[in-house]
Amino acid sequence: MAGNVGLLKHASNVPQCALAIAEIFERAGFPEGAFQTLLIGSEQVQTLIDDERIQAATLTGSELAGASLAAAAGKQIKKTVLELGGSDPFIVLESADLAAAVATATNARLQNNGQSCIAAKRFIVSERIFERFEQQLVAQFEQLTLGDPLEKTTDLGPLATVKIRDELHQQVQQLIAQGARLLTGGQSLEGPGNFYCADYFESDSPERHDG
């Protein structure tokens, strides 16, 4: 809008999303080349950053990817904006509307099938209402309908790749080995699609309970 152009190197496992974004710019009437999707691997990003035509870079992703990009841009004295992974707490006080909190917590945890950097990951709940919150949240999870994400009746669809599903299962097993108590879900489903049951954990911390 201000005379700049954009180059998008999207996550390698969703190239069609990247191409769709470029198509939207084209359909909106932007000049040819004003926004381009680059179907390249992460190992080629360094070459782009070194190019004098690239003035700045931004990234949404992991801390590892952010550190790599910032280091490459720093060598060229180029500006960066990084939005990296986090784990902001979902806090529920005893004054909360419990039903509303549980409904919001369910949606916040499972948006985009849980594949969202802004999804709720830690639930910190007042001790006085913790048991009721936990019971209702587990019940909500167990009522979810897994299936085709294109169907209106589906609450939870498959994960993007087999690798993501398997890594998630490894994380679940690691948590259990470290003392977490699995209250529901936590297993892959047989058949087509990378489905994984929603899981909920209770920590043994005396000060807080994380889901």
Catalytic annotation present for 26: no
Burial status of residue 78 (CB atoms within 10 A of its CB: 0-12, 13-18, 19 or more): middle
What is the SS3 assignment for 28?
A: coil
- Catalytic choice (117, 127, 142, 167): 117
Q: What CA–CA distance (Å, rounded) separates 90 from 87? A: 9
17 is an active site residue: no
Q: State the Cα–Cα distance between residues 90 and 105, nearest whole angstrom.
A: 8
How does strand 56-61 pair with strand 79-84?
parallel
* DSSP E strand stretches across the chain: 6-8, 35-37, 56-61, 79-84, 89-92, 122-125, 181-184, 200-202
Task: Single out the catalytic residue among 23, 83, 94, 131.
Answer: 83
Residue 59: DSSP 8-state: E
Q: Angle CA(175)–CA(167)–CA(61) in degrees, nearest 5?
A: 100
DSSP state of 196: B
Residues with a catalytic annotation lie at: 83, 117
